[in-house]
């Protein structure tokens, strides 16, 4: 119950947007954002980014950052372009040029 409320607040604030480790902005559907939100630490998932219109791999990384008051928990998202789709296009291009 508490986790669902926390997710609802996060979705309301972000609107399904996600900032990756390179300060890039990505946008996902509510259903996709929910799956990303509930990912376990160091797990990854492939989702379609609405903003970039391409499939991307998202990896959730939880860690701690040292501050003056001690340490605080932080969550980072590493987003990379899904190469599976592109490699099939390269293969077909190579066949045409050969």
Domain range enclosing 42: 2-91
Short-list 62, 56, 53, 63, CA closest to 79: 56
96 assigned to some structural domain: no
Number of domains observed in the structure of the chain = 1
pLDDT tens sequence across 52-70 = 899 999 999 999 999 888 9
98 assigned to some structural domain: no
Which is higher by pLDDT, 98 or 50?
A: 50
75 assigned to some structural domain: yes
29 assigned to some structural domain: yes
Do the Cβ atoms of 59 and 31 come closer than 8 Å?
no
Q: Is the pLDDT of residue 92 over 70?
A: no
């Amino acid at each position: 119950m508490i986790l669902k409320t926390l997710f609802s607040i996060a979705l309301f604030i972000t609107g399904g947007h996600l900032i990756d480790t390179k300060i890039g902005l990505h946008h996902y559907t509510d259903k996709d954002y929910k799956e990303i939100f509930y990912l376990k630490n160091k797990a990854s998932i492939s989702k379609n980014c609405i903003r970039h219109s391409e499939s991307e791999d998202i990896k959730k990384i939880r860690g701690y950052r040292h501050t003056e008051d001690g340490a605080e928990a932080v969550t980072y998202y590493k987003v990379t372009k899904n190469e599976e789709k592109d490699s099939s296009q390269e293969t077909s291009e190579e066949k045409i040029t050969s």
